[in-house]
Chains A and B, each alone.
Chain A
């Protein structure tokens, strides 16, 4: 199944031929339009990052328990975890990030991310698209923008989600469905992992597969003939491209996590975080431009300490391994690794020992791709209540990431209704983060 993974499309249940069985609905595709570039003036910045690995932590991770501990605040603020020194002089991370602390000199830590969307759905949209949610328009995710601007590279889809789209807002928004992410559909941490549609389903031989594909083409063709909507054709070409992957040996190999040395798999960790990040590294190494991976559920309204103890060690191992591995391979300078989330969590622990949603200030972390190494940008003050200095907005973050990829955020794309819309509006390239 490519693209939309939301359980039920809001637009309806009318399905497009055999594609319907894959969860796509006609309403979705009819609503889509090709986005043509509008002709405003822009200057493409030089390309600093060839690819992006976006590690998205759904639910909203607590900065206090990860990258922005408050060891001097009372326990109700600082929580129950200790802070440990990092390789950035004078800066501390949570005790749950010992390995990441050891490579902090390769990281850019932004401790003053701020927005005003403290509900999950809205926070996700804001962080994945760089736009505040609008009832009028669904905006494309950064990955889809990259896919739209650059297209595939070395036979690999430009935008890949590991293992699935972390949210419906990781999709192409108003852009054509052709720019939706290719989702693995299976967890690389699982034994017997297989990329969906990349391998023939068990019991299906080559001849039967070809027959099926011809039948699908026939059904789809009748829809393309009868409807002039762009959506059907777009999906068709998207599927075409995805099916073509099967024939491409190099692409197939990129998805083959078993080809990775056992020691390397151990280094990343034989868990979800580790194998997903290792898969992401393989994919960008092979040519993918934008890989979004998600790990964990960080909506810790209850018992944040225990939940962080459960989830963080795997992240710590995998993330430190990813950054070091990329650096050792000489890939870190042109691969931008971004760790982001929906929003942060309340300054004080609640009655249940958890923290609730807090969008006013939280942390994101970047590495490579022209980001300044060993840098802490901004501060959340003594109690992580609001940015004390250098507030950074999701628009700024998106603009900065796109800038490193060589995409000018002020470039206009054509949204439905022939409306030219900036890729990201109102953001600034944050030089503090860059070399």
Chain B
């Protein structure tokens, strides 16, 4: 689900980093707030929305948000924080001034406290006067009277039905839109209905494309009178968390825009479709630098839609369909690079476009329909002029909007066909298929260290923290450098080069001891280290707001810039001791983590590797115990661990009235092949006897001194001494001593541990596997017969 974030030029934020972008208003002077609380969690805003042009008091509620609150981190303009005052540890009261021109819709915010940065929640800004639900309003005669042009804040409790009565004049437009799931609070699938003065239902909506799981509708009153708006859960459920904002007014509520996009700076003539009062055309000047989530709130003299309709702003021309184009004899002509735009206007409608293409010049066709709120479940197909299908796609990456890459087999003309998956159609089945040249792009995202918790950067003064970046390369290869820009003063970021054969890289952030306690958004980008391969970068961060069954995302917020906050110093600093000797394939190593503790803090600190380079695994359940200053993180390498130099980093967390996370610095771990190759024979020995196990050695890397070789996995009762070999030895001979009661049988897990010293550090390699068979001593013929007899009897 895409965020519905409108009128906002996110590109502005992405570019203008030097000035501190996000609105930060420091309101409190904290008297040397000590680190006495861990990460705050923001659960709820009370109220969840307000009218623009007003000043409103909003309580922010959640564990620890009230402990030394410093700022609200707001991502959009128009909201000013006048006061920020803790009520108690879990509640902070903000006095917010919403500008007259404050953008309508969703305003994401976080609470920055002395010790952390909360998760993201959304404040919902409306244009209409606010009112609150007054129970009881369940029965028809209890309907709550509201004025037209009102936002009602209500709750659908268990099996609750809420009714509101409004007076309409004949011919007056009534538009109703509910924000329920989109408040991001809980899985609340709201439905709305409108009853006429006689009590007959004349309009109903459960879900609507642009409103996703929420509902919107508009109607024109057939007669003057008292109309009732009914709100309930679609499955007649509900609970105390099922809150909503119900917009009831005369505002326009179209459900689709056509065409749904244009070029930057273009004067686009947009038709607003689906409004009960009829279609309306408006000329919109598209911004020069709109982001991927640009949208417009349709407005007229009677108001503005509470939520926007998305528009694509891309530097390719629109190719609007010209009906009839139902068959390949009547296609609409389009340039190769253009946005094929149309409407699957009737059930069974097929739209054809004809475009020229050259062999060897691939074209990407990407559909935008459901992403823009259209009900179309589109399929795109490419044909040659003879009608042979050359390419087709239905869904892309689990979403209904299609995508395909077309490689023209020869120079010539081709056909693009658009249809609905189940042959549905209607005036709002708008689509846009963007035909573009494949462009190299790197998609960046921050790995979630906790599942479903979007990662923030919270760096304590005089300390470090770390995030893991995944870089997905599309149509581009080679090494690259990930960069962090727009960081607060006093904060630096370090990221190693990302080699061409890997896609994850850590960024370590470090704050100076006197860095300002501030919060904001930063920019993440990447540049090619091979100058000949330029590419674009994109960043998107999903905040999971409402999840459905099986953790299906129902409502999320997608940000295009990650947040960062500087917090008070914490009473420990972690350091990773740089290993001097390599970790060898099939080897193991102990990474040493040390903690410098401040006086008075002796709590345990959990430590774990941020990530494992390919073929490496680590023990992630280790801690620096209470009162101690170091811990060992064992790591092992498989036989095919990637040889090379890998940046590694360990992060630690301690519970100090909440969770405090810091990290070590980056160190380089060298992964190398084992110094020697071993070959394992099969040897038979006899109980009470002796034997010799000879392991041929293939020396690969010279080493100083002697290597200790130890046989492991010997059968119980069989022992072998540790053998020492030098760098030029060709074999290791292990004398075997076999006890009289050594366990008889085949023992096939014989391994050898090789330990040598490099740079004063042990290098350990454990390889296998060989076999030692223990036989019973040969028995006199008589005894054998008896044993055989016993065997038959048993």
Q: Which residues of A does B touch, CB under 8 Å?
A: 72, 74-76, 80, 89-91, 305-306, 349, 352-353, 379, 381-382, 388-389, 431
Contact = CB atoms under 8 A, between A and B. Distances in A.
B634 interface: yes
Contacts of A76: 617, 636, 638
A381 B621 CA distance: 25
Nearest to B637: A74
Contact of B716 (A72, A89, A306, A431): A89
Interface string B744-770: 001011010000000000000010110
A359 to B, nearest CB: 22
A381 B768 CA distance: 12
Contacts of A382: 749, 751, 768-769
B653 to A, nearest CB: 14
Nearest to B743: A90
Q: Which 9 residue pairs of A and B lie closest in terms of their CB atoms, listed nearest first? A: A90-B716, A76-B617, A74-B636, A75-B617, A89-B716, A80-B619, A80-B621, A75-B636, A305-B621
Chain A at the B interface: SS class: loop
Contacts of A305: 621
Contacts, number: 52
B320 to A, nearest CB: 47
A379 B636 contact: no
Give the contact-size bracket for chain B.
20 to 34
B712 A72 contact: yes
A352 B449 CA distance: 11
Interface in B608-654: 617-622, 634-638
B525 interface: no
Chain B at the A interface: SS class: strand
Most buried by B among A80, A352, A431: A80
A27 B638 CA distance: 56
A252 B625 CA distance: 49
A75 B717 CA distance: 28
18 contacts: A72-B766, A72-B768, A74-B588, A75-B617, A76-B636, A76-B638, A80-B619, A80-B620, A90-B715, A91-B716, A306-B621, A349-B617, A353-B620, A382-B768, A382-B769, A389-B746, A389-B748, A431-B794
Nearest to B751: A72
Contacts of B716: 89-91
Most buried by B among A74, A80, A349, A388: A74
A72 B587 CA distance: 10
Interface of B: 451, 586, 588, 617-622, 634-638, 712-717, 743, 746, 748-749, 751, 766, 768-769, 794
Contacts of A306: 621
A75 B619 contact: yes
B749 A75 contact: no
Contacts of A381: 748-749
B678 to A, nearest CB: 14
B772 to A, nearest CB: 12
Contact of B748 (A72, A74, A388): A388
Nearest to B741: A89
Contacts of B618: 75
Given A75-B619, A382-B749, 16 more contacts: A72-B712, A72-B713, A72-B751, A72-B766, A74-B586, A74-B638, A75-B634, A80-B619, A90-B716, A90-B717, A352-B451, A381-B748, A382-B769, A388-B749, A389-B746, A431-B794
B171 to A, nearest CB: 55
A107 B500 CA distance: 53
Contacts of B617: 74-76, 349
A89 B716 CA distance: 6
A74 B743 CA distance: 26
Contacts of A388: 748-749
Contacts of A72: 712-713, 749, 751, 766, 768
Given A76-B636, A76-B638, A90-B715, A379 B749 contact: yes
A306 B621 CA distance: 8
A425 B759 CA distance: 63
A388 B586 CA distance: 21
Contacts of A91: 716
